[in-house]
Structure 1
């Protein structure tokens, strides 16, 4: 009997820990709601047709409003106002050069389990779906309260790392960073979850070619006097940031 009671106590303790962990994961973010931003190389602009977050346990899908990648945010001359040495091939990661998506309706501070972005690579007319699954470690970082550091080194206002930056490449690959509290943390490189024959609105490559965006995308390299097709992969994907890029393993 003493041995049985010991096992019962152990099981009760483990059950309590699992319940506690589950409760903590379901707690909303204590700071600002989570949001998503997207950047792309200037020479390889994209169009986003849909983006949303999904929480499977709580059974909700949250559309992201405003996450429409227009070509103006990635214009070479505009990006160079933020990063003067920008070459047009890299990822210019900044709140000024990224396009941010915010949630529709009331602010939901519960984190999604996955984020989906549907987008079109305009330089080669390919249609991709990017999916990013938030790990427990990433959720923990997003919920952790930090403080800005003042110029004299003292503790400043509280802050949270609650913004996910996606960088899209014309072969469908994507890179993901976590931003906040003046920290930029590299999280992952993703293969496309899916490649489609049309965008989420049903527009095919032929429909896109009837408009001006694909031609304007190609014109950027011509005007800059550089070759953008074929894609020089040794140049593509360099990170431009005012902050040092940290690694998830370092957190």
Structure 2
């Protein structure tokens, strides 16, 4: 076979594979619709003002709701009902301690290409935008059917990993996991794509600081009540992961 024919054959094969992968990515998830959940350290709660997924090829934007009650969900006494040894500085990653974001309206099983979260770090009044891009490998993982044995011994013969967990830190960094089938897969650590001078509702830091009980003061009070120092931020303590489930790496999949 000539070099030219070999080249043509290779190109045809690559194009065919590219076409098949592209078709597979555009198919809807066979399991539950994708979701986004958010966790944060109890001593460094955040406020989410906007979150959505974007699919460029299909030209849609899907808003997410249910991510507003960060102050109550992140309370130290509440998190300790799930993780009794929780120190208040780490990430308590569990469906029980997370803000659960759901799609607005009908549930779209087509995956987004990117997820955007606009949020405020309430300890230091900084405004961040986090963006996470879904890779082809990740989309394949989310579409793969698995089975696993629950803690009570029952077997789930058909499960999918379709929920993202974002963990937010007061310097704007975020960690991302994929949840499903009884385990977490650690995906990435992200820098903010943007830092703003106000939140998506137009509220500035000065406005957060106003009122009889300013937000930063209420947040700092959590540490005072617990008898620990939270300012300056002890970075050696912040970001430790608390989980009752297995946590694996994306490279291990």
TM-score range, shorter chain: over 0.9
Counterpart of 1:249 in structure 2 is 251
Deviations 1:189-217 (A, max 9, x none): 01111100000010000111124332210
How far is 1:133 from its partner?
A: 0.7
Tell whether the 8 Å contact from 1:52 to 1:62 is kept in structure 2 after alignment: yes
- Alignment of structure 1 residues 68-217 onto 2, 5 Å: 68-149=68-149, 155-211=155-211, 212=213, 213-217=215-219
Q: Is the 8 A contact 1:38 1:69 kept in 2?
A: no
By how many angstroms is 1:112 displaced?
0.6
1:68 Cα offset (Å): 1.6
> Would the alpha carbon gap of residues 4 and 237 (structure 1) be closer, same or farther in structure 2, given more than 3 Å must change?
closer
Per the alignment, residue 67 of structure 1 pairs with 67
Rounded Cα–Cα distance in structure 1 between residues aligned with 2:114 and 2:179: 17
Shift of 1:244: 2.3
- Which moves more between the two structures, 61-70 or 39-48? 61-70
Q: Which moved more, 1:204-213 or 1:17-26?
A: 204-213
Cα distance in 2, alignment partners of residues 21 and 56 from structure 1? 16
Q: How much has 1:106 moved relative to structure 2?
A: 1.2
Distance in 2, matches of 1:19 and 1:2, equals 26
Deviation, structure 1 residue 16: 2.2
The residue number in structure 1 matching 2:238 is: 236
Please, what is the CA RMSD of the aligned residues? 1.9
Alignment pair present for 1:49 and 2:55: no
Contact 2:147 / 2:155 at 8 angstroms: preserved in 1? yes
1:155 deviation in Å?
A: 4.7
Gaps of 5+ in 1: none
Shift of 1:135: 1.1
Compute the TM-score of the two structures, normalised by the length of structure 1.
0.94
User: Is the deviation greater in 10-19 or in 172-181?
Assistant: 10-19
Q: Which residue of 2 aligns with 1:58?
A: 58
- CA offset at residue 82 of structure 1? 0.2
Structure-2 residue corresponding to 1:223: 225
Per the TM alignment, residue 236 of structure 1 is displaced from its structure 2 partner at its CA by 0.3
Whole-angstrom CA distance in 2 between matches of 1:197 and 1:208: 12
Q: Contact 1:167 / 1:174 at 8 angstroms: preserved in 2? A: yes
